[in-house]
Amino acid sequence: MVSKPETEGSRPSVLHRQAPDEVTQPITNQEYQELREMSDMREPYRIPGEYLLGCKKYVGNDLADTPLIAFINGRSGGQMGTQLLTVLSRSLGQSQVFDLSEDRPKPVLRTLWSNLMEREAKGDKLAAHIRRNLRVLCAGGDGTVTWILKTIFDLGLEPAPAVAVLPLGTGNDLALSFGWGNAFLKKWIAADQLYHTLQRYAEAQPRALDAWRITLAGPTPDLFEHLPHSLSLAGAGSEGGGGGGAPASAGAVGGGATEGPDVQGPPGAPRVTGMFWNYFSVGLDAEAAYGFHALRESRPWAAQTRVMNQAWYGWYSCTSGWFCAAPPLRNSVRLRGRGGPGGPAWRDIPLPASVRAIVVLNLQSYGGGRDIWGLSDGGGLRQGKRVVPIFSDGLVEVVGFKNGWHTAMVMGQVSNKLHGKRLGQVEELELEFQAHGRVKDEAGKTHMQLDGEPWPQGVPPASSAPLKVLISRAGQSSMLLNSFDMQGPVKVRKLAKRGGTIAPPPSVPESNQDGQENDARQIP
C-alpha cells in the first residue's frame, strides 16, 4: 500500500545500520558482560596432539574431522545466546567461537582464509584440509544467517563454506527449511546432549540455496533516506551493507546473475543494491513488520522473548490497515517478469484489485513455517502453468495477500486449501512504483521488507519517473541440511524433508575435481 508520508515523530526512523537489528539490541544481561572474562575451560591444560602420539591408542594427529567455527548473536533468543556463547566456547574452544557484537564476520573470515591460503601455499596439508572442509555454525535469527551468507558471497571464498543454523530468532525460516528446527531448545546444549548436537553439524549434508540480488533505482536521493542493514547505495559498500562487494558469481556454488531491464533510472539517479535468500515483501505485510521493529528499537524490554515478539507482530498486523479500506497495490505498482513457466520474454503480471501485499519467496516457508504458496494442494501444478518450487530452482514465487481476513486465515494455516494469491514464478522480476494520490505531484510512501528487515520507502509522484525494483538471481550459497536428525514439530520436519529430497547437493568446485575428496573425514 502506498500512503502519505508519516509526520515527524509518528514513528522512530530506521536508519542505515552496519549489522542486523537483532545483533545491535541493547545488552540487558549481566552474564553477557561477564562473558568477556571467560576462558576456554580446556585451554590452560591442553597439550597439542602431536606431543601425545603413542601415549594412547586413540591419540592421533591434531586433525579436525569437521573443522567448525561458530558465529553467535548473543542478544538473540531472549538472551539465550549468552549461555550458548559460554557452552560453545568451552566445547569448541574460545578461539573458534565469535560473538557478533564484537567480531564482525567479514574481517574474521577474510583473515582466516588469508591465513589458510598462506599456509597452504607453503605446503601445509592441514591448512588445505581445513579450507576445503570448513563449516560455519550461525546461531541467531534469519537476519543473522543472511548476514553470514552475504559475507561469504562477497568475499568469494572458494570453496564456499557451508552454513548450519542454531535458531534464535522469531521466524527462523532458514533454520526450519534445512532441518534445524523452528526454535532453540535449551536441552540441545545440556551436558548429556551437547555431543549429539555437535555431531549433527558433522553429519549434515550440503545443499545449494539460491541467492537473489535486488536493485532499487529512483529519480531522487530523498527516496532512500532510511536504509536497512541489508541495503546500501550502489558503489558505497560497507561491512554490513549490500552495495559493492564481489561480482555476481563470487562466492557462488553455481550459476550467476542475468541481465535484466534497465534499472539505472534517469542520469545521475541513485541506485540501492542488496541481496536476499528468504523473501522480499511490499505493502501492509511489511508495514506491520516495521511497526514491530520500531517498537523493539524504542522499547527493547517489550520484545525479549520469541512469544512476545510473535504477539507484537500479530498486534501490528491488525492495526496496519488490513481490516480498513486500504487502497489496492495495483493503484501504484506495476509487475513484470521473465523466465519460468511463462517463457523467457518479459511479460506483465496482472495484479488483482484485492491484493494489499506482495511477497517474493525463495524459500517454501514464510513467517515461521507458513506455507503461503500452497504446496499441500499441489501448488497449482494441475493448471500446467507452474513447476514444483524449491529453494534451488532458480525461480522465485510471487504471492499476494488480500484483505485482513484472508491474510489471517492463510497465516493461521486454518486449512490446507487456503494459501496466498499465486501471481507467478519467474527468474527475474521488476516492480515499478508511482504514487497516485488525491493531491497532484505529491510523493507517497510504502513499506518494504527484505529477509526480515523492514523500512519505509518513499515513492515518487505520478508526474515523475517511477521507482524501479529489479530482482534477479545472483548465484547460489551452500547450506547444511540436517537430514539425519531433523528438529522441530512434525509439520516443520515434513517441510525440511521435502526440501532435502527435491534439492540436489551443490556442484563440486573445480578445485576439488582433481581426485581430492571434499569430505570432512578424508585426511589429506
Mean pLDDT of 180-191: 88
Burial 98-131 (b: 16+ CB within 10 A, else e): bbbbeebbbeebeebbeebeebbeeeeebbbbbb
Question: Rounded CA gap, 283 and 371, in Å?
Answer: 19
Higher pLDDT, 75 or 294: 75
**In sequence order, which residues have a C-beta less than 8 Å from that of residue 467 and are 6 or more positions away?**
216, 217, 218, 219, 223, 432, 433, 434, 457, 458, 459, 460
Q: How confident is the model at residue 241 (pLDDT cuts 50, 70, 90)?
A: very low
- What the block records as the C-alpha cell of 145 is 544467517
- What the block records as the C-alpha cell of 394 is 532458480
Q: Rounded to 5 degrees, what angle do the CA atoms 71, 75, 76 make?
A: 80
Exposure of 293 in the CB half-sphere (CA atoms within 13 A): 25
Question: Rounded CA gap, 186 and 306, in Å?
Answer: 14
Higher pLDDT, 132 or 330: 132
The H or E element containing residue 142 is helix 142-155
pLDDT tens for each residue of 382-429: 455 778 899 999 999 999 988 766 666 766 665 667 778 999 999 999
pLDDT of residue 263: 62
Question: Rounded CA gap, 135 and 130, in Å?
Answer: 9
pLDDT of residue 7: 43
Mean pLDDT of 158-178: 92
pLDDT tens for each residue of 324-359: 556 667 678 999 999 999 899 999 999 998 888 899
List, in sequence order, the alpha helices (H) in 74-104. 80-92
Residue 257: pLDDT over 50:
no
Task: Say which range, 2-6, 21-25, 225-229, 357-361, has the weakest mean pLDDT.
Answer: 2-6
**In sequence order, which residues have a C-beta less than 8 Å from that of residue 307 and are 6 or more positions away?**
none
Q: How confident is the model at residue 302 (pLDDT cuts 50, 70, 90)?
A: very low
Q: Is 177 within 8 Å of 501 (Cβ atoms)?
A: no
Share above pLDDT 70 across residues of the chain, in percent, rounded to a whole number: 64
3-state SS, residue 135: strand
Indicate the burial class of 93 (C-beta count within 10 angstroms; 0-12, 13-18, 19 or more).
middle
Mean pLDDT of 199-206: 92
Higher pLDDT, 86 or 27: 86
